[in-house]
Structure 1
Amino acid sequence: MKVKKLMAAALVGSMALSLAACGGTETTPEENTTGESTAESTEAGDGNYNVSVILKTTASEYWGYVKAGAEAYGKDHPNVTVSVKGASSETAYEEQLNMIDTELNNGSNDGFIIAPLQADMVANMIKGQTKPIAAVDTDIDAPEVFTFVGTGNEAAGKLGGAAAVEAAKAAGWTDIKAIEICGVQGDSTNEARKAGYMAGIEEAGGDFLEKETQYADATADKAVNCMEAIMQTHPEGVAIICANNDDMAMAAARTAKTNAAYANTIFLGFDGIQAACESILNGELTMSVAQQGYEMGYKSVEAVVNKLDGATDIPDFIDSGADVVTPDNAQERMDTLKGYLA
């Protein structure tokens, strides 16, 4: 039979407590240097769980907040051990697939949270899984996934697009054209944000130049190349440059900094990370659609634990919320983010 986990908090006042393993020997789980339990999976319903979190990457500030939120749930609930992993970049597809395969085949895990780089591939990998699986940030179209925790990306993009048009009008633009620097082509989150930007910009009176969309694989380096190409094509300037994440938006703003035609361009990012707040306060990036990455991580673990506890009323989609960061609220947002990583 499986060995039950005993968390440190549960041992207070009960140091003699132990659980019998197969063969009759008494054991207590030990923790390794990363704080992860080496005990086998808990029995269903005993309230002690191992939750495995596999993110798109852990090599960016935004994903650091998702990681911090997931781990915070474990700190708040000593009966839950949370293990977070992520690929080295958002294009390290095979690396993440290998991580997911390893975690799915690790019998010590009771539930999973996955932010897929390739949702279709992950959907095939999890076929037949009976342990709870939640998707975070990007949904996975599979019956094995009981909930999606994330931003309503299209609605959030629409919010940002409309705000960018109003900012462009205030900056003196009358011909309000917008070009997006996108992330990974075909990624569902990327496409949802693009659709939102387009809707928000056009409904507010702007012109979204969809055919001129640039793809930068969610990286700042490639965004620089994209921005250089935009400036060559539009030497007269463009009212709005919107990007799929803050790193790309900031890179685009830096690239255009010395181009007078782009002095009043609205640079709109997505994520609302600390670096974006600093850039907004410094007058470089104009605004950012802020995701609540910390809440995303926390709520996703909470959902898996509730599922393991037998809850039947968990919604299919748990919205972590979104807002627009501007010079008026950037300092407040930055202070909040610093607290998450403290």
Structure 2
Amino acid sequence: MKKRLLAMLLAGAMCAGLTACGDKPADTQQPADPGASTDQPADNAGGNYKIDVILKTTASEYWQYVMAGAQAYDNEHDNVTVEIKGAPSETSYDEQLNMIQTDLASDYDGFVIAPLQADMVANLIKGQTKPVVACDTKIEAPEIISFVGTGNEEAGKLGGAAAAKMAKERGWEEIKAIEIAGVEGDTTNSDRMAGYKAGIESEGGTFLDDEVQYADAVADKAVAAMEGIISKFPEGIAIICANNDDMAMAAAKVAANNENYKNTVFLGFDGTMSACNAILEGRLTMSVAQMAYEMGYKSVEAVVTKLDGGEVEAFINSGADVVTPENAQQRKDTLQGYLDSVK
């Protein structure tokens, strides 16, 4: 974080005709995503902005990547100061709400918020005239200028198609798929499921809607779900797709010693470091990777673009990719770089 106050004091100690240099160091740790730039970068607009970034938590791997992206924008733009904070955990609802309420009354020029309770945050920001961007999770409120996050259905389709292709390569004649899902009724879960179904069917496979197993997005319940699947389908299933990596890895572990499931494609979602390790070690087949770094970067960029008077899209897709044994090491190295940048 730039030391603006120190820079001002040093400048004041010099003769009045001198000005401080605004150049950034050449060795910024993480480059911006090339697709994240705008036609008129904020640097050229002349405004000096202080942006508040409030995440669900700063105590998890995924949110460290989001932090790295937001910090990278700060590093690359001398006229922007980004302050990042988050709740102690993703169940610290009151702590985050108090944090947001306090910061809305402070001297920030704009806000990036990843809400733990979107409806409560919508109430807090009522009447807010400074730009507010929702990051990772939608906030249904007119004050929100943009939602920056993963296009879950599109990402799921990408993963589903890749899984079906790999299942064919592994010799499956009937490409049938069962999903171990998250929380029933959750929008993110529903979007990912719809994407998986579309992607698998685009490659001639069959998504077994009636066999969906809801496991509340936790590994323990995914274990029970997978045990049930093996009992009902002892001959094996071509694809087991899950709403997140933890559930996919848990399911794969259950089936690890079952001969009829040795060629099953286990597909997760998130593309975390642990998933990369599991793919490299053969404990998971593939994962749909969310681009959390880009999410953090583009969220701050959207606030600055609005402050500069520019147009901001209502939804900014931070992107997705499929992690496979071929690119898992590269993905792992990239993620480690993000983690190193926020230490």
Instruction: Give the TM-score category using the shorter length.
Output: 0.7 to 0.9
Equivalent of 1:331 in 302, 317, 329: 329
In structure 1, the residue matched to 2:89 is: 88
- Report the CA distance shift for 1:173/1:98 in structure 2 as closer, same or farther (over 3 A): farther
Residue 11 in structure 1 maps to residue 8 in structure 2: yes
CA drift of 1:243 comes to: 1.4
Show the counterpart of 1:154. Answer: 153
Identity percentage over the alignment? 64
Tell me how far apart the structure 2 counterparts of residues 327 and 305 of structure 1 sit (CA, whole Å).
Answer: 38
- Aligned pair in 2 of structure 1 residues 223, 318: CA closer, same or farther (>3 Å)? same
For structure 1, the 5+ residue unaligned runs are: 18-44
Distance 1:69 1:327 in 2: 25
Tell me if the contact between 1:55 and 1:87 (Cα under 8 Å) persists in the aligned partners.
Answer: no
Corresponding residue for residue 303 of structure 1: 302
Structure 2 gaps, min length 5:
15-44
| Cα drift, residue 54 of structure 1 | 2.8
| Rounded Cα–Cα distance in structure 2 between residues aligned with 1:46 and 1:339 | 31
Letter paired with 1:14 = A
What is the number of equivalent residue pairs in this alignment?
A: 308
Aligned pair in 2 of structure 1 residues 129, 289: CA closer, same or farther (>3 Å)?
A: same
- Match of residue 280 from structure 1: 279
Give the 3-state SS of the residue equivalent to 1:269 in structure 2. Answer: strand
Larger RCO: 1 or 2 (CA < 8 Å, sep 6+) = 2
Query: 1:120-131 to 2 correspondence within 5 Å?
Result: 120-131=119-130
2: CA distance, partners of 1:52 / 1:187: 28
Q: Where is the helix percentage greater, Structure 1 or Structure 2?
A: 2
Partner of 1:42: none
Partner of 1:40: none
CA distance in 2, matches of 1:166, 1:155: 17
Contact 1:182/1:244, CA 8 A, preserved across alignment: yes
* Structure 1 runs of 4+ with >4 Å offset: 91-99
Over 3 Å counting, the alpha-carbon distance change for 1:86 and 1:229 in structure 2 is farther
What amino acid is the match of 1:71? Q
**Scaled by the length of structure 1, what TM-score is found?**
0.80
For 1:73 and 1:188, locate their aligned partners in 2 and report how far apart those are by CA, in whole Å.
Answer: 29
Q: What is the alpha-carbon root mean square deviation over aligned residues?
A: 2.6
Counterpart Cα distance in 2 of 1:148 and 1:199: 24
Shift of 1:148: 1.5
> 2:220 & 2:93 partners in 1: Cα distance?
19
> In the alignment, which residue of structure 1 is the partner of 2:198?
199
Equivalent residue number for residue 71 of structure 1: 71
Equivalent residue of 1:241, what SS?
strand
